[in-house]
Amino acid sequence: MTLEEHPAVRRHKEKQAQAASDEGPIDAAWLRDLCLACGADDVGFVGINRPEIASQAFDIASVFPKTKALISIVCRMNREPVRSPQRSVANQEFHETYDHVNNVARKITRMLEDRGIRALNLVSAFPMEVGRTGKGWIVGHKPIAEAAGMGKMGLHRSVIHPKFGSFILLDTVLVGREISEESKPLDYAPCLDCKLCVAACPVEAIGQNGSFNFSACYTHNYRDFLGNFVDWTGHLADSKNRQEFRERVSDGENITMWQSLSFKPGYKAAYCMSVCPAGEDVIGPYLDDRIAFTREFLQPLQAKEEIIYVLPRSDAETLVPKRYPHKEVKLAPWAVNTSSDPYSFFFGLTLTFQKRRSKGLEARFDFNLTGDTPVKASMKVSDQTLSVEFVQNGPADVTLNMPVDCLLHMMDRDFDLGRAIASGQVNIEGDAELVEKLIDCFPEYGDIEYAS
């Protein structure tokens, strides 16, 4: 038998001829029906050249260079389990929906593949490229969902669907063919600006003005995930004996970690989603009686006795004992791999900035970092916000000339600024006290010392 006569080759050629005959854009109405039949609760379509996703074009090409269009998939979570203060119930709902939305994306991809259309289903959340430094996820689903008209990010930063509200999870399918009609973004924001999410978050990760304290959420909510797991293994390795280990990590925490490893990692909170009244299907009880809504959905979360993980010298460390004296506060280190690459390090500072601690500081700091790759950067603290730029425009209050590693040590607090200045290691033009104040805007990096 020649290669041409081989059954697999003949069937492939037949399919090729069929695919060539439907080579134009995929019919949007047909595709929508297909996605809903696969289990999606809503879908929207976005072309690869849309400006809203331009910043992700490189990452999209890195995983599927043939991408011409994207399908944004929304799957609903059941509301009551997500609202429950009991973590097992809420986590089960999160994980089931994550599996479901992944399966839906996979089914859609299979159906397209069977019709000769190349497609790739992304991952909803985990697994991610967690081993590498920097961002672990490939593509961010939220901006795609916004562009596809699936909702808009609310004050709490999650996408709120106009009908299902915050109780949704997202995924994206990359498609190697254009789609006949693209979806438009929503022309209003479903968020009501009620700020219940601000009140619900035990570590005040969500600010009244929409600021987001990444490090506070990551340290508490993700205690059983990623770098925080590495911290747990650190305790295991550093403890002299089982007694010391149990002093550092309680039996309850160890068993919780066992459960996370055996089943799926448990989120500690996600309260910002639980209390959100936005969305046509959700809003009724809130409009009927706001006080009753708060009593039913917010107060049980606030009253819950639980461990809250906070970074040393963070806003949450001060705030949680005052606001929630019945919750136990435990210190945990900043467990994101702090890179010695100055660009990543400065970016990391935007994730750990503590706005309450920055109150009263209004200053611009120029950094001239020396080392293998000299870097010029400018940090501005104003009105309890931090901005970082890699250009130096205009006069700075303080200019710091120093080697890159000094910056790292400064944040670890294993650094005596006065001595470094005296020894000529660091040169400061301006008020050195402002530098102390700047350092105080960040939690203490590095491992936590335990007296044993």
- Residue 337 beta carbon to ligand B12: minimum distance, rounded to whole angstroms: 9
Size of the residue set binding ligand B12 (CB under 6 A): 31
Considering beta carbons, is residue 51 or 395 the nearer one to ligand B12?
51
Considering beta carbons, is residue 277 or 342 the nearer one to ligand SF4?
277
Considering beta carbons, is residue 190 or 293 the nearer one to ligand B12?
190
Contacted entry of ligand B12, ligand SF4, none for residue 134, CB cut-off 5 to 8 Å set by kind: ligand B12
CA-based nearest residue to 98, from 336, 264, 270, 221? 264
The DSSP symbol for 363 reads E
String of contacts with ligand B12 for each residue 104-133, x by CB under 6 A: --------------------xx--------
Q: Crossing angle for the helix pair 315-323 and 214-221, nearest 10 degrees?
A: 60
Contacted entry of ligand SF4, ligand B12, none for residue 144, CB cut-off 5 to 8 Å set by kind: none
Per CB under 6 A, 407 contacts ligand B12:
no
Separation in Å, CA 94 to CA 162, 185, 193: 20, 26, 24
4: tokens are: 């041409």
Contact 268, 220 (CB under 8 A): yes
CA-based nearest residue to 70, from 108, 17, 97? 108
Per CB under 6 A, 158 contacts ligand B12:
yes
Among 212, 324, 343, 415, binds ligand B12 (CB under 6 A): 212
- Residue 375 beta carbon to ligand SF4: minimum distance, rounded to whole angstroms: 37
Among 70, 168, 386, 420, binds ligand B12 (CB under 6 A): 168
Q: Who contacts 110 (Cβ-Cβ below 8 Å, separation ≥6)?
A: none
- As a whole number of Å, the end-to-end CA separation of the chain is 77
Contacted entry of ligand SF4, ligand B12, none for residue 191, CB cut-off 5 to 8 Å set by kind: ligand SF4
Query: Which residue has the closest beta carbon to ligand SF4?
Result: 154
Distance CA 408, CA 423 (A): 18
Query: Which residue has the closest beta carbon to ligand B12?
Result: 140
- Residue 116 beta carbon to ligand B12: minimum distance, rounded to whole angstroms: 28
Burial class from Cβ neighbours inside 10 Å (0-12, 13-18, 19+) for residue 342 reads buried
Separation in Å, CA 408 to CA 16, 187, 322, 340, 444: 57, 44, 31, 7, 11
Contacted entry of ligand SF4, ligand B12, none for residue 44, CB cut-off 5 to 8 Å set by kind: none
Residues within window 215-274 making contact with ligand B12, judged by CB under 6 A: 217-218, 221-222, 267, 270, 272-273
Contact 309, 330 (CB under 8 A): yes
Tokens 């910043």, located at residue: 55
Residues within window 347-386 making contact with ligand B12, judged by CB under 6 A: 351
Residues that bind ligand B12 (CB under 6 A): 94, 124-125, 134-135, 137, 140-143, 156-159, 166, 168-171, 212, 214, 217-218, 221-222, 267, 270, 272-273, 336, 351
